[in-house]
Structure 1
Amino acid sequence: MLDTDKPLDPKDEKKLNTRGIGSGICYEPFIKIHEINSKGESYRIRGRNTSRAHHLLSRLEFSAFLVFDRFHLTYDIKEQFPLPIIDTLSICARLGIKHPQIRNKLKVVTTDLVVELKGKPSIAISVNYSSNLDNVRTVEKLQIEKLYWEELGYEWKLFTEQEIPAIVKENLEWLHAASQNSPDLYKELSFDDIATVISRLSNSDKTLSTVCAAMDDKYECKAGFHIGVIRNAAAANLIDVPLNIVFRNWRAKDVSMIIGLDSFNARLSDVS
């Protein structure tokens, strides 16, 4: 049976009615983290440009998202974006490859991140560990995505762990550890609580760790409390930090609230 004669997976067909449509806060990803049986790590994180929770299916996808979400020209990111089945079937026929399917039912091909930029061509990003590129089916899926987006006029990029600069990678690892091992105390903090901590930094030129330690003493908090707030809020994408400077050298004046996030009552427990 030809791929064009095979039915679309009913679950995928149902999701296409409501997902992968719209933009910004109204966009709903085709795949959500609770719908996959992943042996790895997955994340829900607030987007600084969309004010919604984004569903990221791997640690590398989480890192890629943070990099692009903090890029000054980014105004929207759509994750797990579904490609039209009619187009992917056509591309597979032209490439002479089998369309992704399970038990003779066609599966929708998705792109990990679609990044919309101000004044520049949009970028479609496929996120994959370099070790996966030896797999023939992985490469074939990437070929489908690349051809689809380039024919649409988008720039297509493959994002591997090798694309992350060493300093950015170290910062993301530090933030990641906080998001994975955060005490309940931090998860109960509200947006207003975080804003209060940021206001205490007083735009100081001293290192962030020095200022936070002084605030722990001043407000009689447990040692490490204030730097913990900053670390967890940055991991949750609720505050802005300079990823191009290693976290040990951040200064108090480098940290700020993300403009626009006060439109919702964010808590660290909203992300995982």
Structure 2
Amino acid sequence: MAKHNLQWDENKLKRFLREGRGQGEGQNYKPWVTVQDFPSKGRCSRVLGWKTNRIHHLFTDSETRYFYLLEWEDAVVDIREHYPLLDLEEVIKEKGDLNFNLFKDKNSGLPYIIYTSFLITLKDTNGQKRYIARSLKADYELQRQRSIERLEIERRYWSNKHIDWGIVTQKDIPTVKAKNIEWVHSSLHFTDERGLEKEEMIYLCDVLLEKMTESSQTIRKITADFDKEYKLQTGTGLFIFKHLIATKRIKLDMNKEIKLNGRLENLVINIKKERMGEDSIVNY
């Protein structure tokens, strides 16, 4: 098993900068820290993003669930996790009362690079972009002096950048909604793994959607019968159902648990019945 050096020193800083960490946007962005940097963390996730078509590195359940909430929002066009404040010294002018000694490596004495959990790009209906920054913390961490000091550094940094910044704890995250999004998330990609060509997927989506609008059966029953009728691999109907939710052709109350033994009418807000075009199939 490979050994990971967790010490922070000049060589590692130079390597991170040389690798372009914290640089780029969209698909080209590289987070300051990755799952590979902290192999002992037990709740890490690597998720292929809808918005960016790149792998996102997430270290806690709260980070992962918040990421899924961001993925669901149409106004969000880019998500940059673990965004480093590389120009912190220049941006924060008044720092005499801040204790930066809390954020130095004990052996090398080199200051750590402070990073914010998420830098998010939003685009309004007029095409104008704006940025918001969010720091994810467990609520108990807000009682720790080191966390308080770090958050104050982040707050001043983003304030001087004139970018909206806020703290998000696990209590701010609607868990059911996040889990529902996670459940459908992978169906937006990987349609080819089901052995479905694009034209076939378009056709099957339209047919299943029509059946769901006409049937009073449970979701599980409708999708299972669909597999049998069209001689599909078991689970394909359920995959297409998830895809219809992910593409928002079936609009559900995502704050309610999706129960497969329940009827769709108990969840549905709106169903788009128009035929699906090829641009509605996302298959990276």
- What is the alpha-carbon root mean square deviation over aligned residues? 3.9
Distance, in Å, in 1 between the alignment partners of 2:206 and 2:235 is: 17
Read off the aligned partner of 2:152 and give its amino acid letter: Q
Residues 41 and 229 (structure 1), Cα distance of their counterparts in 2 relative to 1, 3 Å cut: farther
Distance, in Å, in 1 between the alignment partners of 2:278 and 2:84 is: 29
**1:105 partnered with 2:110:** yes
Match of 2:55 in 1: 53
- 8 A Cα contact 1:78 1:115, kept in partner: yes
Read off the aligned partner of 2:14 and give its amino acid letter: E
Structure 2 unmatched runs, 5+: 1-7
**1:227 partnered with 2:238:** yes
Match of 1:148 in 2: 157
Q: What do residues 47-92 of structure 1 show as CA deviations (whole Å, max 9, x unaligned)?
A: 2222222221222111101111211211111111111154289568
Distance, in Å, in 2 between the alignment partners of 1:79 and 1:123 is: 12
1:210 CA drift (Å): 3.8
Match of 1:95 in 2: 97
Read off the aligned partner of 2:21 and give its amino acid letter: R
Distance, in Å, in 1 between the alignment partners of 2:65 and 2:222 is: 28
- Which structure would you say has the larger RCO, counting Cα contacts within 8 Å and 6 or more residues apart? 1
Match of 2:5 in 1: none
Q: Counterparts in 2 of 1:122-201, with a 5 A limit? A: 122-165=131-174, 167-169=176-178, 171=180, 175=183, 188-189=193-194, 192=197, 195=201, 198-201=205-208
- The alignment partner of 1:115 has SS state of strand
- 8 A Cα contact 1:121 1:155, kept in partner: no
- 8 A Cα contact 1:92 1:144, kept in partner: no
Residues 254 and 14 (structure 1), Cα distance of their counterparts in 2 relative to 1, 3 Å cut: farther
Structure 1 unmatched runs, 5+: 1-6, 180-185, 267-272
Q: What do residues 191-249 of structure 1 show as CA deviations (whole Å, max 9, x unaligned)?
A: 85894664552343256434212213324567655326755x79xx9755743443235
Identical pairs, percent: 22
Distance, in Å, in 2 between the alignment partners of 1:11 and 1:257 is: 48
TM-score, length of structure 1 as denominator length: 0.73
Residues 124 and 246 (structure 1), Cα distance of their counterparts in 2 relative to 1, 3 Å cut: same
Distance, in Å, in 2 between the alignment partners of 1:35 and 1:257 is: 42
1:12 CA drift (Å): 2.5
Judge which range, 110-119 or 38-47, deviates more.
38-47
- 8 A Cα contact 1:48 1:238, kept in partner: no
